[in-house]
Amino acid sequence: MSVKDNPAPLAETPESRPLRRNREFQLLWSGAGVSYLGSRVSAIAYSLLIIWTTGSATQAGLVTTAALLPSLVVQLPAGLLVDRWDRRKTMMCCDAGRLLLVGSVGLAVAFHHIWLPQLLAVAFCENSLMVFYRLAERATVAKVVPSGQLGTAMARNEARGQASGLIGQPVGTFLFAAVRWLPFGVTAIAHLASMITLLFIRKDLRVSEQDQTQRIWQRLTEGFSWVWHQKYLRRALGLIAGSNILFQILTLAVIVIIRHEGRSPATVGFIVAANGTGGLAGALTSGMWMRYLSIRRIIMTINVMWAVLMPLIAFVRNPAELAAIYFCMIYAAGVGNVAGLTYQLKITPDGMQGRAGSVASLLASGTNSIGALAAGFMLAAWGAKTTVLLVGAAMLTLALLAVLGFAGPKAKRLEAALGAGVVRSESSRRRRSKANDVVRD
């Protein structure tokens, strides 16, 4: 066996180019990151503005409800339209609309003309545009990133989202304390910056040619039907929906436990910070796990991990221990979010990305309100400890369903056929390419 002394350098292809040198992805990632950070800054400012101006928790709740409502009522039509419209124009229009909406609140606050109906309308419309933007941006990732790098790209996107939440809320609080209109002004500037970055993306972001004669109802039904017929995607969404209900119940139960222990609200903030840090760490290290574990194994592992950790909360009272448990659970969630999004993007046709994403988001996140409602009744009827143990039992059931649904040769073969198994790193692929330069005698 002999090796070439000076092998010719491999020509760089889109598949071999690292993401850090993918100009289109970097522009998309950074612009969306600034936009999401701005939205997090203004989100906390709405509640602070109402509480500090009127002292009414009821009005603050109304504004929060208006902000959350688009996740339920706008997801499906947004997915439908994102699959018909030019995604660059869609994102730019969303940025422009949010700039004007948030800017109007900033002006109203600066001139001391705060009006509840305006805040309700702006909160609803701004978050409706956010739904459109998020679906279009997620679908665009599959346009600017090769299939083999989707796992790494989604890991960076998830880390960006976690970091936006971790940084945005304290920044929004600080800006509000300095000058009350400032969080809204900063958010408006963030949307302007995001809109500008989209102008520099050279890639054609128009949707692939598709049948435009279908009626809206037919196209919407097609999205539901497509997701339903993806057996393993359907199972994964079912597990996510179930676990989201349990996490909603668990979150309220932990607050009740902390209150009953006579601890301050700062303890809740400490655990929330652990949540954010865990999610960020999970997203940042998800690429490592996806190099060693297939996506289906990640799904099984995180569900089993949650089934082990959740019941422990019934017996733990030390804030540091509670924070550690939550850190581990949300760390696993960060890894799982990246794996799930990567799988969905890989198997979804370009013309179906918006609808599939909206259906998946609705099925996965629409159950949050059910969990919040159930939490109140369960805690009132059985108390925190029993509620947490029931949550643990339900999570054990989900973990068993995850193992039954994703283990076995059929799931393994399908995953391999879709290319959604272990995600190889750039360095690993390059070493394999260089190994091909070895010449056998």
CATH assignment of the domain containing 337: 1.20.1250.20
Contact in structure between 423 and 151 (CB atoms under 8 Å): yes
What's residue 6's pLDDT?
Answer: 52
What's residue 255's pLDDT?
Answer: 78
What's residue 288's pLDDT?
Answer: 87
Residue 139 pairs in a beta bridge with none
**d(C-alpha 171, C-alpha 174), whole Å:** 5
Would 157 be classed as within a structural domain?
A: no
Helix and strand totals (H; E) in the chain:
17, 2
301 and 178 fall within a common domain? no
- Shortest CA distance to 180 belongs to which of 47, 27, 288? 47
351 and 427 fall within a common domain? yes
245 and 184 fall within a common domain? no
- Torsion on CA atoms 29, 31, 37, 39, rounded to nearest 10: -120
186 and 78 fall within a common domain? yes
Q: Is 383 left (phi over 0), alpha (psi -120 to 50) or beta?
A: left
- 3-class secondary-structure state, position 7: coil
Contact in structure between 318 and 142 (CB atoms under 8 Å): no
Give 10-residue mean pLDDT values along the chain (441 residues): 48 66 90 92 83 74 78 83 88 96 94 90 93 90 84 83 80 84 94 94 75 62 80 86 88 81 74 83 87 87 96 91 93 88 79 78 72 78 91 96 85 61 45 43 41
Would 212 be classed as within a structural domain?
A: no
Would 183 be classed as within a structural domain?
A: yes
198 and 311 fall within a common domain? no
DSSP type of residue 408: S
- Shortest CA distance to 101 belongs to which of 73, 143, 138, 130? 130
Q: H or E element: which one contains 198?
A: helix 182-199
As a residue count, the chain comes to: 441
What's residue 214's pLDDT?
Answer: 58
Residue 2 pairs in a beta bridge with 439
Tell me how many domains the chain contains.
2
101 and 229 fall within a common domain? no
What's residue 198's pLDDT?
Answer: 93
What's residue 26's pLDDT?
Answer: 92
Would 137 be classed as within a structural domain?
A: yes
- Torsion on CA atoms 376, 238, 75, 251, rounded to nearest 10: 30
Q: Would you state the structure tokens that stand for residue 274, as one six-digit string?
A: 């652990």
User: Which amino acid is located at 237 in the chain?
Assistant: L
- Residue range of the domain that includes 311: 219-433
Residue 438 pairs in a beta bridge with 3
320 and 410 fall within a common domain? yes
Would 313 be classed as within a structural domain?
A: yes
Contact in structure between 275 and 330 (CB atoms under 8 Å): yes
**d(C-alpha 46, C-alpha 53), whole Å:** 11
317 and 173 fall within a common domain? no
What's residue 104's pLDDT?
Answer: 95
202 and 80 fall within a common domain? yes
Provide the whole-model pTM. Answer: 0.69
